[in-house]
Structure 1
Amino acid sequence: VAETLSNTLEIEPMLNGVLRTTVERIGVHGGAIHLLSDDGTTLSLAAWYGISPETLEQVTGFTPGGADLGVISPASRALNTRPLNIPNETGIYAVLSVPIWRQGQIQGIITLAHDELRPWRAEETRMLDAIGRQIGVALVNARLYGDAVRDEAHIRTILQSVADGLLVFDRHNNLTLMNPAAEALFSFYPTESGGAARAAVLLWEWLRTRDTGTGEPVEFSLPTTPIGPAEEDARCLSINRVHALPHDPAWPCWLVDGSPDEADMRRCPVYERISRSALQAHSAAVQDADGQVLGTVIALHDVTYFRELDELKGRFVSTVSHELRTPLSVVLLQVSTLLKYYDRLPDDQRREMVSEIQQQAHNLRELVEDILELSRFDARRSMPQKQWFDLVSHIEELLGTLEPSIQDKNLHLDVSRNLHSSYLYADPQQVMRVLRNLLGNAIKYTPEGGQIALRLEQVGDEICLSVSDSGIGIPAAEQLYIFDRFFRSEQASRMASGHGLGLSITKEIIDLHSGRIELSSTQGEGSTFTVYLPVHHE
C-alpha cells in the first residue's frame, strides 16, 4: 500500500490504486473511499472497487453529498434493521469502515465489504486503520502538490504575459524559463543553430562578463533581422581588426567577450545598416530562505523608443541650433553694419540690407512655427477642423501666392484635374499646408527651366493630389527617411536651405485625415508625391 501511495501525487489514480491493492491483499469482495468536503459538511464517493455505488449506499448508509459521518453504526443499523433483505439483495454480509485521519482530523472514510458471513478479525481492523492513516498523509501531500502545480501554472501564466523579456537560469547556468517576449527578441537567431534558447545562453555568457556587482542594468543592442555570414565577414574586415570570435556568424560580434568597442562598431557600415533594438538587462540572483543562490533571473527591457527619442532630441538641438544660428548671424551682421556705416551707405544698399534682415526674420518665424506645429501634433492639440470646402478655389488661391517663385526660376507649371466634385470634407488650412509644402519643395529643388505638374483626380471615394517635378530626385537609400523629422538628404542640403520639418508636418496632417502619401523618385530625374484623402464625411 505504501508503494502504491508513493507512485503518484494525483488523488484519483492514487485512491483507486490503494483501494484495489487493499481489497486484493485482504481478500474481500470490494471497497470504497469517501472523502469529506473542505468545509467538513458532506461526503463524496472518491473511489470504489468490486462493488457498485448503489450497493455501497445500501450497505453503508453513506449517501454521496450527505452529512452522516458515522463509521460503523450506519452499516450496523442497516443490517440489524433488515437482517434478511440486505444480504439477500446485495450479497454483502459484512462491512468495515474506518476514518481516514490526518493530525486528529477526519478527511474521509475507507470501507471494506465482504460477501462472507463472518466477523472482522482484529488484525484486519488494525491494518485498515493503518491504511486509512497512510491515505490521510498521502492526501495532504497530494493536495499540497496540486496547490503547488496550480501556483506554478498561475506564475507561468503571469510570466508569459509580461511585456518584458524574462530569462531564468539555474545555478549551473542552464536555461530553465524563457517567456514569449524574450523569444521574440531572439527571433533573429536561426532555428538550425539552436534558436532562441541558444541565443539566450550566448547572451547570458556575455552578460556575465559585464557584471560589475552594482546591480546597474547593462545596455546593449540585438539585431531584429538575421545576420548572414557575408555580413559578419564584412563587418570584421570593415574595421580592419582580427577578433578572437567563435565561429558563429549568426551571433552579433559586438556581443562576444573581447569584441570591438562602440567607436569601432560605429565605423562599420554593416553594423550601421543592420536594424537593431536597444535593450537593458536587469539581473538578480534567486535565493532560497537560507540565502543559498538557486539561479539568476534576467529581465530584458526594450528601450529602443527612448534611444530613438534621445537621438531625435540630439538631432533637434543640432538642427535647430544651426538653423537659428545662420539667420541670426546674418541679422546681427547686417544690423552691425548698418549701425556702424549707416551714413556712409547709399540708400539702395541700406534697403537691400533691411530686406535681407526681413527675409531672415521670416525664416526664423517659419522654423519656430513648424516646431510649434509639430509639438501640437504630438500633444494632439492640432486636430483637424473639418468642413466642406471648395478644393479647386483654394488651390487656385495658393498657386497665386506661389506664382512669383515659379516665375523667378522660369519653371513651367502644368495643372490638370478630373474631379466629380471640387468639394472635400477636411480641414482647409491643413490641406493647403500639405500642398504648399509639396509645391514649395518642388519649386525649391527643381533647376531653372524645369517642369512641375499638379494633378487632381477622384479615385473611388478618395481625392488624389499629385505633385511631380523634374528636380534633383531622392536617392533610394534616403527615401525611407524622407518623412522623418529634421531629415534632409545631402544633395538637398547643398542645393537649398531648409530645416527638414515640412514633410514631417505633411505626413502628420495626412495621417490625421485618415489619408496616405506615396513617393516615387529617381535620383537626377525628379520626384512625385501622391496624396490620397477620403472625400466623404467620416
Structure 2
Amino acid sequence: LIAGLLGLVGLAVLIIGFVTAHGIARRFGGPIEALAKAADKIGQGDFEVTLPISSAAEMNLLTRRFGIMAEALRQHQATNIDELLAGQQRLQAVLDSIDDGLLMIDRQGCLEHLNPVAQRQLGWDEERLGQGLGEAMGRAEMDEQLQLVLRGGNLERAPDDLEVEVEGELRLLTYSLTPVSHTQGHILGAVMVLHDVTEQRAFERVRSEFVLRASHELRTPVTGMHMAFGLFRERAKFPPESREADLLDTVNEEMQRLMQLINDLLNFSRYQNGLQKLTLGTCDVTDLLEHARARFAELANAQHIELLVEAQPELPRLYADQVQLERVLDNLLGNALRHTAEGGQIRLQARRHGERVIISVEDNGEGIAYGQQGRIFEPFVQVGRKKGGAGLGLALCKEIVQLHGGRMGVYSRPGQGTQFYMALPL
C-alpha cells in the first residue's frame, strides 16, 4: 500500500512537472526562439525584424529592450553608410577636380577608376576599367613597373615620357606610380598620376636649339677675340705691378670665363639634343679616382684640404666613356673644393651595389640647404653662398650619367657636408 501510494505521488509529481514545464516552454521558449532568429537577421545586416509579444511581463521587457537595441543599430548603420557615401563623394569630387590625370589601380594591376582629366589626356572612356595597366596603355613594360611598385619597390629613375595620340594630336605625358598602403602596412593598390608636358617639352626643344645655335655663333668671334688679345698681351710691355697689367689680367680672366661659359652651353645643348655620342671602352674605376685626385692635388694642398680615395677591392671594370666620366669628377671635385673650408677633407669613394658601381665625391664643407636640394641638377641654377659660372656644371654631369644609363643624386645636411653620387650600370 505504501509503495503504491509513493508511486502515485511520484506519478502525480511527474505529471505536474511536465505540465509546468510545458507551460513555461510555451510562455518563454517561443519568444526566446523568435528573439534568436531576430538576432541572426540583425547579425546579417537585416534590421527589419518582427519581435514576439509574450504574456510574461519579463519577456515583454526583454523584447522592448531588444527592439530599442535593434533600432539603435539600424540608425547607427544608416549614419555610417551616409557618412561613407558623403566621404566617397567628397573624395570623388577632389579626384575629378585636380589638374592632373589620375588612375586608380587595384592590387591585381587592373584599372579601378580614372578621373575626367585622365580620360581627356588618354582619349579613353570608362570601358577601359577592369583592364590591366600594360594592356590599356599598350606598353607591356608598365606591368613590370607596376608589379615592382605593388611589391613595395621604387622605380630607379624617372620613366620616359608617354607618347599618346588623341584626335590626331600627339601629346607627351609624364607619369609616376605610387603604392597605396593600408594602415597595417600591406599594399592595397597603386595610383598613377599623369601630367601633360607637351608644351613644356616644345619650349625646352626651342630653348635647346636656340642655345645650341647661339653658342655656335658666339664661339667663333670670342675665340678670335681671345687669340687677338693674347697676341696684344704678349707685345704690350707694362710693369708687373702697374695698373695696366692688372687690367690686362682682369680682361684675360673674364675672357676665359666667357669661353668656358660658351663651351658649357654648347656641351649641355649637345647632350640635351642627343648630338653628343659616347666613346665607350673598358674603364678601371680605381684608376679613374686616382687620376682625378692627382689632377686636383696641387689645388687641394694650396687650400690645406685632404683628398682621399676609398675604393672597394677588385671592383669590376665599367664599359663607359672615360673622358666624360673624368669631366663629371672634375666638376664635382671643383665644387667640393670651392665649398670646403681650409683643413677640410674630401673623399672619392667607389663600391659595388648589385649590378651597379656607386662612385661618390663627399666633403665636410658647408652643405646645401634642404630647400635647394630639389633643384640642384636643374640648368642655370646656382646654390650655396659661393656661386660661379652659369649653373650648368651639375646639369651637364647629370646628362652625362644618364647617357651612360645611370642616375645621379645628392645627400647633404647644412653645415655637415655634401655627397654627390652616380650609380653606373656594369
TM-score by length of 1: 0.38
Q: Which has the higher contact order (CA 8 A, sep 6+)?
A: 2
Give the helix-richer structure, 1 or 2: 2
Q: Which has the larger radius of gyration?
A: 1
TM-score by length of 2: 0.47
